[in-house]
């Protein structure tokens, strides 16, 4: 039900809504008014991602998680009623859908994302276990299904590019004009947006998981802890139109991403199993300020770099790859957390001065085996069986080792995210130097 209803059907609906909203902003606003419109759009787009866990947490804690889905129905009704207020140009011609292009791109991106998701259970390269479908085990040449899917996805995407080139040469209307892929400022903006969303999606996966599983907060409290980030993001997003009148938006994005990296590092240094939740607030505020500054005008700047006739396709690709970044981020971070947690456990067990060597060997073997063939429940059961007869001092030592491993896992994961944001910082150097708001616009 979740896969078909929430992922597929609702995903198709969202794919129709979001790029169209951006196109309407491009059509209806110019100059400073457009800068303000995009600042509000960015603040709402990212801000609601932080408000969502708060609302969902309230439903989950005090009512039922099912109410979150009913809330979506209410929002759709509001959208339909309010749509009459939206001004938009009527299409002058019937659209011809490039069906082959749609299928190739969907298969390509779908295989890549599903491949990344599979890394947690099946490994990045060597198969920790085969994929079983209808009793048939799939592990070609001992490889994990994850790289097979990702390579398959890359092949489909290559075929997609070749097909679009063929469509252009034959005079047909391609799904994606290849001139967009050759537009360096535009592709830099798309890349920056995808990388930022990758890190942002990863953060919104990690934080609730950490505060609920390790700090034992409920869903409502885990949503509340993200509010400083949301407030900082909203404030900075709405300040950027004035700043865009003083300097090119490119430099706002560069400075904003640099500040966001500092915020991620502050968050990384705050994690431990016995931390106070308030220790994350400085990192959230700095990260939110940087994100608001870096994102508020990024989409406006990116789409301003393409020809007016390519705005529709440019908006579609921008939003598609931005959402792809979020999907990959949530998939990758699960693998990172588990990998660094298990490595931290092994290091802590082997470095313990309390545990005897024979216990170290047994526990290390179990943790190492879990990365290959054991599910989480099996791992927990096996460890409980081993430590059942341990004296209290051994159990306290294992508790301390586990706490240190959790903190280590979160820290290294967030350092990794900071490094990924660093790639986005480099990509932002290739953004357009266009000034989005003129001095005359600012004066009015």
Domain at 25, CATH number: 1.20.1250.20
User: Within this chain, do residues 172 and 188 fall inside the same structural domain, yes or no?
Assistant: no
Q: Is the pLDDT of residue 421 over 80?
A: yes
In a shared domain, residues 159 and 190: no
Contact 236, 294 (CB under 8 A): no
The better pLDDT of the pair 385, 363 is held by 363
Q: Binning pLDDT at 50, 70 and 90, where does residue 423 land?
A: very high
Is the pLDDT reported for residue 444 higher than 50?
A: no
Q: What angle do CA 351, 355, 361 make, to 5 degrees?
A: 75
Check whether residue 208 and residue 333 sit in a common domain.
yes
CA distance 387 to 391: 9
Q: Average pLDDT of 147-174?
A: 88
30 lies in which domain range?
Answer: 1-87+184-444
Same domain, 203 and 152: no
* Residue among 210, 191, 174 nearest 324 (CA): 191
**Which position has the token pair 């902003």?**
25
pLDDT at 441 over 60: no
277 in the same domain as 151 = no
Q: Are residues 190 and 170 in the same domain?
A: no
Please check the confidence at residue 72 and state whether its pLDDT lies above 70: yes
- Percent of the chain at pLDDT above 90? 18
Q: What's residue 349's pLDDT?
A: 85
The count of other CB atoms within 10 Å of the CB of residue 142 is 9
- What's the pLDDT band for 214 if we cut at 50, 70, 90? confident
**Torsion, Cα of 115, 119, 124, 129 (10° steps):** -110
Q: Is residue 42 within 8 Å of residue 21, measured between CB atoms?
A: no
In a domain, 93, yes or no: no
Determine how many CB atoms are found less than 10 A away from the CB of residue 320. 18
Number of neighbouring beta carbons within 10 Å of residue 95: 8
Both 132 and 43 in a single domain? Answer: no
How far apart, in whole angstroms, are the C-alpha atoms of residue 145 and residue 125? 8
Per-residue confidence (pLDDT) for residue 10, from 0 to 100: 84
Angle at which helix 392-428 crosses helix 311-350, to 10 degrees, equals 150
Distance in angstroms (rounded) separating the CA atoms of residues 354 and 242: 60
Count of the separate structural domains present in the chain: 2
Q: What is residue 161's three-state secondary structure?
A: helix
Interior angle at CA 114, CA 113 and CA 119, nearest 5: 100
- Helix 99-122, helix 311-350: angle, nearest 10: 10
State the pLDDT at residue 188: 93
Poorest-confidence range of 58-72, 118-132, 191-205, 391-405?
118-132
d(CA 367, CA 342): 7
In the chain, the N- to C-terminal Cα span, in Å, equals 52
- Chain position carrying tokens 């979020």: 326
**Predicted pLDDT at 210:** 85
């Amino acid at each position: 039900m979740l896969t078909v209803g929430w992922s597929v059907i609702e995903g198709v609906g969202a794919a129709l809504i979001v790029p169209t909203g951006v196109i309407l902003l491009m059509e209806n606003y110019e100059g400073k008014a457009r800068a303000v419109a995009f600042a509000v759009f960015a603040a709402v787009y990212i801000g609601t991602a932080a408000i969502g866990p708060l609302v969902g947490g309230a439903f989950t804690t005090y009512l039922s998680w099912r109410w979150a889905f009913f809330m979506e129905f209410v929002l759709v009704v509001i959208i339909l009623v309010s749509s009459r207020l939206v001004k938009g140009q009527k299409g002058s011609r019937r659209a011809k859908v490039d069906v082959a292009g749609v299928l190739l791109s969907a298969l390509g991106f779908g295989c890549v994302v599903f491949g990344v998701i599979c890394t947690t259970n099946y490994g990045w390269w060597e198969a920790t276990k085969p994929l079983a479908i209808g009793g048939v085990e799939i592990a070609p040449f001992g490889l994990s299904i994850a790289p097979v899917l990702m390579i398959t996805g890359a092949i489909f995407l290559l075929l997609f590019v070749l097909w679009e080139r063929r469509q252009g040469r034959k005079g047909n209307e391609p799904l994606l004009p290849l001139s967009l892929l050759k537009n360096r400022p535009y592709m830099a903006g798309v890349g920056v947006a995808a990388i930022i969303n990758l890190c942002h999606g990863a953060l919104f996966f990690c934080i609730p998981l950490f505060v609920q599983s390790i700090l034992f907060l409920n869903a409502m409290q885990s949503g509340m802890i993200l509010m400083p980030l949301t407030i900082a993001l909203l404030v900075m997003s709405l300040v950027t139109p004035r700043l865009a009148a003083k300097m090119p938006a490119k430099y706002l994005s560069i400075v904003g991403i640099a500040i966001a990296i500092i915020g991620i590092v502050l968050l990384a240094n705050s994690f431990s199993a016995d931390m106070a939740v308030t220790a994350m607030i400085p990192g959230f505020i700095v990260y939110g300020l940087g994100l608001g500054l870096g994102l508020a005008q990024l989409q406006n700047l990116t789409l301003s770099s393409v020809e007016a006739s390519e705005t529709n396709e440019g908006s579609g690709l921008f939003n598609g790859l931005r959402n792809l970044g979020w999907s990959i981020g949530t998939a990758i971070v699960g693998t990172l957390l588990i990998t660094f947690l298990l490595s931290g456990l092994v290091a802590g067990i082997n470095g313990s001065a309390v545990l005897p060597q024979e216990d170290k060997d047994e526990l290390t073997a179990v943790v190492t085996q879990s990365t290959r063939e054991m599910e989480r429940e099996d791992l927990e059961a096996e460890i409980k069986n081993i430590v059942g007869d341990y004296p209290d001092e051994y159990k306290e030592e294992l508790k301390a080792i586990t706490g240190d491993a959790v903190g280590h896992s979160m820290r290294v994961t967030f350092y990794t995210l900071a490094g990924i944001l660093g790639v986005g910082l480099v990509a932002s150097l290739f953004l357009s130097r266009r000034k989005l708001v003129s001095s005359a616009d600012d004066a009015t």
